[in-house]
Amino acid sequence: MDAMTLTDHEQKMLDGHHGEGVAMAMRIVTSLARVRGAPRLIEIGSAHIDGCLFHGQAGLDFAVRLRELGARASVPTTLNVGSIDLLHPGLVRDRTPAEREVAIGGRALMDAYLALGARATWTCAPYQMDARPALGEHVAWAESNAIAFCNSVLGARTDRYGDFLDICAAITGRAPYAGLHTDEGRLGEVLVDCTAIPERVLAGDLAAPLLGYLVGSRVGTRNPVLLGLPLSTSEDQLKAFGAAVASSGGVAMFHVVGVTPEAPTLESAFGSREPAETIAVTSEDLVTARRELSTATETRLDVVSLGTPHASLDEIATLARLLEDGPPVADGVDVYLSTGRSVLAEAERRGHVRVLEESGIHIVVDTCTYVTSILRPSARTVMTNSGKWAHYAPGNLGVDVVIASLEECVQSARAARVLVDDDLLR
């Protein structure tokens, strides 16, 4: 393998001329670049940090050490969800020793990243109102759904960055020129033919997460190209697809022909290559995916969890409309909506939050219900409109889930029982 070339400025960062914190970060970035076979580093325009959840002392020690060595983000840097809701601290349980450790360590970790110069966004969807890189712009983003959205929907360029690598890229302003930063790495690999699914089904909000779950489980980490989705496919639908396809598989880049910016045609999505595989998806496949993701056998409903990834302004407005002219949430059912701070502020300004709260909705910011102790311990059956939440929550929380459309979630919350209709998918 040819040696990697550094600029004079990059070499000085590595040699410690810009401080020990920068040198430490640069050692990690260059080590990754060598592993990835990158010929050089590239300048990045922004970073999104995933390592804000407290998983133990090591993560906190790493961030604190960088801060002690004088490191600071050199590019605009947003922060992913943390382990607590700083605006509504009473929502997060801290009764057991383990919960108290997470609450204390989580707050310290969030503080450490702020001290490194990042913004207090605390959202898994920074692309909604907090950060919007341009087409072709190189960035270093972590968090699987944000990576998929950034590459696929915005057409900006990030590889898969995880804990520790993300903050090091933010500090140095550099990332390895490899993977999805390159033209070759972004080409489609697998064709997913959705033309057999009725457009009415694809236009709904349930098809996207189910399709993402199906595609991710089939393609793994390869780049899928979807054919047959409506030209009117929304960003929220692409967000739901991307979150699910990155959870059931490891997809970090997808194309939707005629919709996403690097796939105006099928030919442009694949470049000069032929698809390595073609997968045909039908309505019955979506029904099967719903049954696979829905582990609940009880019809009694305990909790509804919405907003994974964090709900957009449009999604909040739609929820408010569904709630405005009907009864509130039934007694005994907890409904949580997770969103980002900036989105919440705008939703509040538009009057949506008042409608939600009057209907019995609990609003969560800064974190998410499948990674934090928010649900009551007795909760057993949870309904969600998120493929990602449905995929992870049974293992994380020990609950049974039902994946449903937003309207089904509202109807079920009012009735205190599971109400779903598979004909929505046929």
298-353 residue pLDDT tens: 999 999 999 999 999 999 999 999 999 889 999 999 999 999 999 999 999 999 99
In one-letter notation, the amino acid at residue 250 is G
- As a whole number, mean pLDDT of residues 149-166 equals 97
Q: Write the pLDDT tens digit of every residue in 45-62.
A: 999 999 999 999 999 999
Nearest to 81 by CA among 329, 364, 315, 303: 364
Q: How confident is the model at residue 94 (pLDDT cuts 50, 70, 90)?
A: confident
- 2 has pLDDT over 90: no
Q: Residue 18: its pLDDT value, please?
A: 98
Residue count (the chain): 426
Same fold, 8-181 and 294-421: yes
Q: Which two tokens stand for residue 158?
A: 């990030």
Q: Residue 1: its pLDDT value, please?
A: 45
CA distances from residue 73 to 45, 61, 81, 170 in whole angstroms, order as listed: 11, 17, 18, 5
Domain parsing of the chain, residue ranges: 8-181, 187-291, 294-421
Predicted TM-score (pTM) of this structure: 0.96
In the 3-class helix/strand/coil scheme, how is 369-401 assigned residue by residue? CCCCCCCCCCCCEEEECCHHHHHHHHHHHCCEE
Q: Which two tokens stand for residue 220?
A: 């793994």
- How much is the mean pLDDT over the chain? 97
Q: How confident is the model at residue 272 (pLDDT cuts 50, 70, 90)?
A: confident
Q: Write the pLDDT tens digit of every residue in 14-46.
A: 999 999 999 999 999 999 999 999 999 999 999
Q: Write the pLDDT tens digit of every residue in 243-265.
A: 999 999 999 999 999 999 999 99
Name the CATH superfamily, with its identifier, for domain 294-421: Aconitase, domain 3 (3.30.499.10)
**One CATH from 3.90.800.10, 3.30.499.10, 3.30.1370.60, 3.20.20.70 for 8-181:** 3.30.499.10
Q: How confident is the model at residue 374 (pLDDT cuts 50, 70, 90)?
A: very high
